[in-house]
Amino acid sequence: MTGLYFHIPFCAKKCPYCDFFSVSYHKETVSQYVGAIIRNLSAYAPEEMVDTIYFGGGTPSLLSAAQIGEILNACAKYAHLSDSPEITLEFNPTGERTQYLHDLRTAGINRLSIGTQSFSDAQLSLLGRTHRAADGIRTVMTAKEQGFDNLSCDLMLACPHQSEAVLAETLDILGKLPITHVSAYLLQVEEGTPLSGSSELLSHLPDDDTSVDRYLQTVRTLAEFGFQQYEVSSFAKAGFESRHNTKYWTCEPYLGIGAGAHSCYGGTRFQAKRDIAAFCTAPIQPTELIDPSPCGTEERLMLALRMKRGVPVDALTLQAQKKLPLLEKGGYLRAENGCVSLTPEGFAVSNAVIAALLG
């Protein structure tokens, strides 16, 4: 089974912490861009069954429902869709968008990943987000009313001034919303972003220990609300794990279309060039090879260890297996029933734990 990923690199306003590739929204360009996506779909015409489709960004919710519909129609035309594909769209919770949500649902989108980030207005404005807490709540409620039964909310952790109480309030609201999934990210200061240049904000970032306290608070609280952690940053109610994102961790193929989109497809990893003009005009998106033979043992282990289900003990080298008792004693992982899986404390230091096991 293959996943399809569409990268929509347009934003109304760039968030000060974000270092992903995106440009300002421009109606004409976006329409050309949608045409190019469809052209690429016809060019690639994936043979394998497609069971997930994901619109990521950027801000895919800047596309009109009609444009989304066109792309999904093209998917149906040029690819083989499975019976019940998971079709996700990243949604920016700004303004009153009842009609839009209705149209998206009608066009075939069945899962929304909503960029709520926080339900504290103070936090949202610190993060430079244009929406308020109420916008996030309303978007979720409206989407639910419009027939979305699979909703995910984004949550930003370790933000400036994010105390335990501030986070608790946000988590409490999350727990009451009719959602199935939460993606919780630790804020990372990326070089070159406006955040990295703001000494005022940087001085209020929590230190590593506090950041991890927030992370563990999140894991704990979400569990109480019925969201089980299944990956470093992902939490879901039973049966609502993101099928698309899971492909990333399990080395299943996905085809990324759009300027800057990543693919693991046709036996290689590659990335489309971050060049919107080139994407819009070329018959097929220009790409750069990242890895000619991906999904080797080490890569698989590295990715699989980010998931709660972990890896079989005997998939590890003997040398790595010898390290297990100590790491288990440190509370970083559990080795039981022939399986090794990281604990939440282990996820918080997963770079080091994975390096220890693969090094």
Residue 196 in the binding site for other proteins (CB under 8 A): no
Q: Based on the shown chain and the rule CB under 8 A, indicate whether residue 56 belongs to the binding site for other proteins.
A: yes
Q: Which residues contact 73 (CB under 8 A, 6 or more apart)?
A: none
Find the shortest distance in angstroms from Cβ 186 to other proteins: 5
Of 39 and 269, nearer to other proteins (C-beta) is 269
* 148 near other proteins, rule: CB under 8 A: no
Judged by beta carbon, residue 144 or residue 210, the one nearer other proteins is 210
Site string for other proteins, 307-326 (x = CB under 8 A): -------------------x
270 lines the binding site for other proteins (CB under 8 A)? no
Asked if residue 261 lies in contact with residue 274, where contact means CB atoms within 8 angstroms, the answer is no
We find the least distance from the C-beta atom of residue 60 to other proteins, in angstroms, to be 11
Q: Does 129 bind other proteins (CB under 8 A)?
A: no
Nearer to other proteins, 97 or 274 (CB): 274
Determine if 359 is a binding residue for other proteins (CB under 8 A).
Answer: yes
Cα separation, 308 vs 247, whole angstroms: 14
Whole-Å CA distances, 224 to 153, 169, 218, 348: 17, 14, 10, 19
Least Å distance, CB 4 to other proteins, is: 11
Q: Looking at residue 341, what DSSP letter applies? A: E
Residue 67 token pair:
């444009």
Q: Which of 22, 52, 88, 211 binds other proteins (CB under 8 A)?
A: 211
**What SS3 state is found at 240?**
coil
- Binding segment for other proteins (CB under 8 A), chosen from 26-34, 44-52, 159-167, 243-251, is 243-251
Under the criterion CB under 8 A, does residue 219 sit at the interface with other proteins?
no
Question: What token pair was written down for 330?
Answer: 């440190």
Residue 232 makes contact with other proteins by CB under 8 A: yes
Residue 254 as a binder of other proteins (CB under 8 A): the answer is: yes
If the CB atoms of residues 174 and 348 are measured against other proteins, the closer one turns out to be 348
Residue 272: beta bridge partners? Answer: 287
CA separation for the pair 63, 1 (Å, rounded)? 27
Q: Is 263 in the site for other proteins (CB under 8 A)?
A: yes
The angle subtended at Cα 107 by Cα 97 and Cα 76, nearest 5°, is 150
| Nearer Cβ to other proteins (104/327) | 327
DSSP single-letter state for residue 284: S
Alpha helices in the chain (DSSP H): 27-44, 65-78, 98-107, 121-126, 133-145, 164-176, 199-203, 208-224, 243-250, 276-281, 297-304, 318-329, 344-348, 350-358
Q: What are phi and psi of 100, to 5 degrees?
A: -60, -45
- Amino acid code (one letter) for 150: N
Number of residues interacting with other proteins: please give it, by CB under 8 A.
50
What is the nearest approach in angstroms of other proteins to the Cβ of residue 249?
Answer: 8
DSSP 196: G
Given the rule CB under 8 A, which residues bind other proteins?
A: 5, 7, 20, 54, 56, 184-186, 188, 208-209, 211-212, 215, 232-233, 245, 247-248, 254, 256, 260-264, 269, 271, 290, 298-299, 302-303, 326-327, 330, 332, 345, 347-356, 358-359
